[in-house]
């Protein structure tokens, strides 16, 4: 479900019009989260760390209204719930796009994630389709080979896009902690640094359990 935002009364009306005129309206930041407790929780819950942090990221996104906004036919809508469209790897080092529905329950979410990972393993190519092209998702990728400090995305400026893009990297040990880089890119007409800050705070809280 989604609700139409009344642009005439929206307090971001001018912000939206200003940044929507840009060739590149997206902006992004890289920050670190503390994944120490999340690693322990994943072991205790007998689930993959990937399943846990993807679920935590989606939980955080769904708590921040501005990250549920999307631009559709020049209008802004707010979705009730946001799901995941992750890149999922294969043994031949290619990847396919997936669609994983969000569920508040970690185990239920994990069942959907494992089914989609299995489907990608038995497929070829990018797996472009209606599900992976849905607007009510985040574009999510994991880059476990690098503890990055910056990140850019391939973008087609002619294609209308307002979907947040979230990437995580390799854990970096620091003393007794394990820090994980997180890159988030959002449409500036829909979200500012304040909203990204809310996401990062909610993501850390979800990781801590």
The CA distances from residue 109 to 50, 123, 141, 187, 197, in Å, are: 12, 22, 17, 27, 25
Per-residue pLDDT at 157: 84
- pLDDT score, position 35: 98
**pTM more than 0.85:** yes
pLDDT at 128: 95
How far, in Å, CA of 83 to CA of 68, rounded? Answer: 10
3-state DSSP of the chain: CEEECCCCCCCCHHHHHHHHCCCCCEEEEEEEEECHHHHHHHHHHCCCHHHHHHHHHHHHHHHCHHHHEEEECCEEEEECCCEEEEEEECCCCCEEECCECCCCCHHHHHHHHHHHHHHHHCCCCCCCCCCCCCCCEEEEEEECCCCCCCCCCCCCCCCCCCCCEEEEECCEEECCEEEEEEEEEEECCCCCHHHHHHHHHHHHHHHHC
Host domain of residue 51: 2-208
Label residue 114 by pLDDT band (50, 70, 90): very high
How do strand 83-89 and strand 137-143 relate by DSSP bridges? parallel
CATH code (residue 55): 3.30.559.10
Whether residue 158 is predicted with pLDDT greater than 90 in this model: the reply is no
Q: What is the predicted pLDDT for the residue at 1? A: 95
* Domain count of the fold of the chain: 1
Is pLDDT of 166 > 90? yes
- CA distances to 61, 139, 180 from 65, rounded to whole Å, are 8, 17, 24
Share of the chain above pLDDT 70, in %: 100
In degrees and rounded to multiples of 5, residue 117 shows phi and psi of: -65, -40
The C-alpha atoms of residue 53 and residue 22 are separated, in whole angstroms, by 32
- How many residues comprise the chain? 209
- Residues 5-55: tens digit of each pLDDT: 999 999 999 999 999 999 999 999 999 999 999 999 999 999 999 999 999
Confidence of residue 203 (pLDDT cuts 50, 70, 90): very high
Task: Give the contacts of 32 (CB within 8 A, at least 6 positions apart).
Answer: 172, 179, 180, 181, 182
Residue 32 main-chain phi, psi, to 5 deg = -110, 145
Where does the pLDDT of residue 183 fall: very low under 50, low under 70, confident under 90, or very high at 90 and above?
Answer: very high
pLDDT, one tens digit per residue, over 51-102 is 999 999 999 999 999 999 999 999 999 999 999 999 999 999 999 999 999 9
């Amino acid at each position: 479900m989604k609700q139409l935002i009344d642009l005439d009364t929206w307090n971001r009306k001018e912000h939206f019009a200003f940044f929507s005129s840009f060739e590149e309206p997206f902006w992004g930041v890289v920050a670190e989260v503390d994944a120490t407790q999340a690693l322990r929780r994943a072991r205790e819950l007998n689930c993959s760390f990937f399943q846990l942090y993807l679920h935590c990221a989606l939980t955080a996104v769904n708590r921040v209204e501005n990250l549920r906004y999307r631009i559709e036919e020049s209008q802004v809508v707010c979705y009730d719930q946001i799901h995941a469209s992750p890149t999922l790897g294969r043994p031949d080092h290619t990847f396919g796009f997936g669609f994983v529905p969000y569920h508040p329950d970690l185990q239920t979410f994990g069942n959907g994630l494992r089914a989609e990972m299995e489907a990608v393993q038995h497929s070829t190519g990018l797996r472009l389709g209606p599900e992976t092209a849905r607007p009510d998702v985040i574009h999510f990728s994991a880059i476990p080979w690098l503890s990055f400090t910056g990140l850019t995305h391939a973008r087609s400026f002619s294609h209308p896009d307002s979907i947040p893009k979230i990437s995580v990297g390799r854990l970096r040990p620091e003393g007794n902690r394990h820090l994980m880089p997180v890159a988030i890119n959002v449409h500036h007409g829909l979200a500012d640094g304040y909203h990204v800050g809310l996401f990062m705070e909610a993501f850390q809280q979800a990781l801590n359990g």
